[in-house]
Chain A
Amino acid sequence: MFLNSWSLGLTLAGLIILALGVFACRTAVRILRYWNPQSDSNLQIKLENEIWLASTLVEYGLGFQILSVVLFVLAADTFCQVIVGAMCATGALLANSYGMPALLVKLAGIFVYGFWIVLHKLDISSETYPLVRIKYIYLLFILPLLVADITLQTLYISFLSPDIITSCCAVVFGSSDKTGPNLLEGFSQATTIFLYYGTVIALTAMGYLLLKRWLVLLAALFSAGWIWFLGLAAIAIITVFSSYIYAMPYHNCPFCILKPEYNYIGFALYFTLIPASFFGLTTVLVEPFKTMNNLAGAVEKYQRGAISFSLILLLLLTALSSYHFLLYRISGGE
């Protein structure tokens, strides 16, 4: 189904991101081969300039990637109108086996490019560029991810034919007797809610303690807690909170909350959850670089910023996700 403005837009965005990545990797190869901080040759000065190019390209790539994830979900939501049996983005993404992997790779991309930018910011805060090698080897590993991203997306679009019968979201995520596969059954609502709010409190407490006094083990626990919370929050949104937002007990879908009917609340949820997890996760990931020469100050500054930022976003997310839930519990719904 390529002859469609959504497919074309996605492909165009994918190609632009890939082109930016290839240019950035060209710089990476040159730097890994010729980088010599002791030299003041023409080549070294040129390479120091090219560092700026690579970082700008990856920053643009990250911005475009965020846009492309949103576009991908919206495109799936449009495709569902022509795919028999699909009623929302879930059905369209499950129409062939490439839809969900493509979405997950795209989301993973945001984390991977984001972390590269963190490394870059740390690196340029020191005059000796201590992270140059690590940074550019890492950049070379991003390229396969980019290729996988655009390949999966292209496969998804090309194998999408408007005739296949797929399940709609009511079947996939809802509880039903024998109508089809059910992704998320067996999660009791009460347990999920308990775990969700428990984790929120635990993360807030750990973050607060870390801001008071730095402990590496606690930081590791904090970051691990964020990985756990990312999955848990996704499950909680699908199985619990979404049906309160829709005001329908059997409508459990992670994509329909992105629609204008629900005031785009899904964007607010995901745009707090994903950055919050990113900052929470990277808190401990930058720890090894503390030992590098004169990076300790910059790393510490970043960690403090990341913890406070993730906590602020966490509180926002809790407020946003609880709104419809509490509204129903307190005033009996709309």
Chain B
Amino acid sequence: MLPKGLEKQINILDFSLMSLWRRKLKNLGIMFVFALVIFLLGSFQMLTGALTNSAQAVLKNTPDITIQKMSAGRQEAIPLAHAEKLHSIYGIRAIIPRVWGYYFDESKLANYTIMALEHDSMPYGNNLNLTLAYGHFPKKTEIGKAVIGRSVHDILGLDKRRIFSLFRPDLTLKSFEVIGVFSQQTDLLSNDLIIMNLTDARDLFHIPELMATDICVYVTNPTEIETIAKKIAGLLPDTRVLTKSQIQKTYQVVFSWRSGLASICLLTALAAFAILAWDKASGMSPEEKREIGILKILGWETGDILAVRFWESVLVSVLAFLFGCTGAYIHVAFFDASLLKPIMVGWSVIYPSFKLLPSVTLADLLLIFTFSVLPYLGATVIPAWRSATVPPDSAIR
């Protein structure tokens, strides 16, 4: 036996369902538009979560500290002599110079990222080979060998061939042999990447010997990273010292900033929808007025009619919420958020083909709920009250 109050609410819910069904066209129309708005909001939220996750997974392997030489506020090549000065600091595990830069391929109209480092002197350096679909990273002695990302492989049209060439600044050609390709999991970072030897990279970019783009520092004890970073900054005042956690935070801020911007744009759609909902709810047809008048004459109170209207709003918005969120999940998980990804990750020709792993937490769903259902309920409450207080005698006359 149910408590009396609960039984009454269940009966009212039953009545609301039937009342919604009697006006299917109007209600389904509202629900469809609402689900569409929720779909867009949800897609952005889930896409942000997925991007943050994949960035975090890949950034796990970034160096603990990165040192860049600054001159007049811009980054420039750092002499290897700088690295020598760091040997006095205790707790540093390895110091690895890196040469990297961008290469614009004029014939394919694509940007590649070129990266060169001595991976065999890195801690866990051999683990890097695990990120490859096949092959291995070029060793110090292997001149003219390269590992490339999957998109680079496709764009160069290599297929089964192993040799490709790039232009030096003076337009002479330098050829490379592919000895490995990155696997799909690291696509976000490795898609446009070409990894080669330090000597080759200096040759390709015409960077003088004993110079590097930046210096990576690995620290034995992770809790000492901040302290060591401070010491490095003191020893090398002309450099910018970046720690791993700073880089991770920056990624997160960028993604959340972009999704916030997208939410602001969607707020206009939401406002338009709230106005539509308000309008639909306040424009009552004579039949609806008659219906309420008859209910009141039958003994329904204002509170009961308000409850009917409340349940109607809840049913419409919760159903729309479920449809919208399911749609958003399918969009992100199976279609890689193809509608929105260019906004979030930039528009470079090479980017849009990495796989996304959506992560949906209760918190995300609650946020989408706040963004969509709250405004809807808020917009329909006053029209609902207006309809509930129609004087019965004038309504059925």
Contacts and interface: CB of A to CB of B under 8 A. Distances in A.
B259 interface: yes
Interface in B275-327: 302-303, 306, 310
Interface in B225-278: 245-246, 249, 252-253, 256-257, 259-261, 263-264, 267
B110 interface: no
B17 interface: no
Main secondary structure of the interface of A (DSSP, over half): helix
A240 B260 CA distance: 38
Nearest to A5: B263
B48 A5 contact: yes
Contacts, number: 96
Contacts of A74: 363, 366-367
Contacts of A77: 363
Given A5-B256, A5-B367, A64 B382 contact: no
A182 interface: no
B43 interface: no
Interface in B336-393: 361-363, 366-367, 369-371, 374-375, 377-378, 381-382, 384-385, 388-389
A43 interface: no
Given A9-B370, A162-B253, A49 B363 contact: no
A235 B306 CA distance: 41
B193 to A, nearest CB: 26
Contacts of A20: 378, 381
B44 interface: yes
Contacts of B310: 56
Contacts of A56: 306, 310, 381, 384-385
B226 to A, nearest CB: 10
A5 B377 contact: no
A81 B52 CA distance: 11
Interface centre among A57, A82, A84, A264 (most CB of B within 10 A): A82
A8 interface: yes
Interface of A: 2-10, 12-13, 16, 19-20, 23, 49, 52-53, 56-57, 60, 64, 67-68, 70-71, 74, 77-78, 81-82, 84, 162, 260, 264
- A-B pairs, top 4 by smallest CB distance, nearest first, are A3-B260, A49-B389, A4-B260, A74-B363
Interface of B: 44-45, 48, 245-246, 249, 252-253, 256-257, 259-261, 263-264, 267, 302-303, 306, 310, 361-363, 366-367, 369-371, 374-375, 377-378, 381-382, 384-385, 388-389
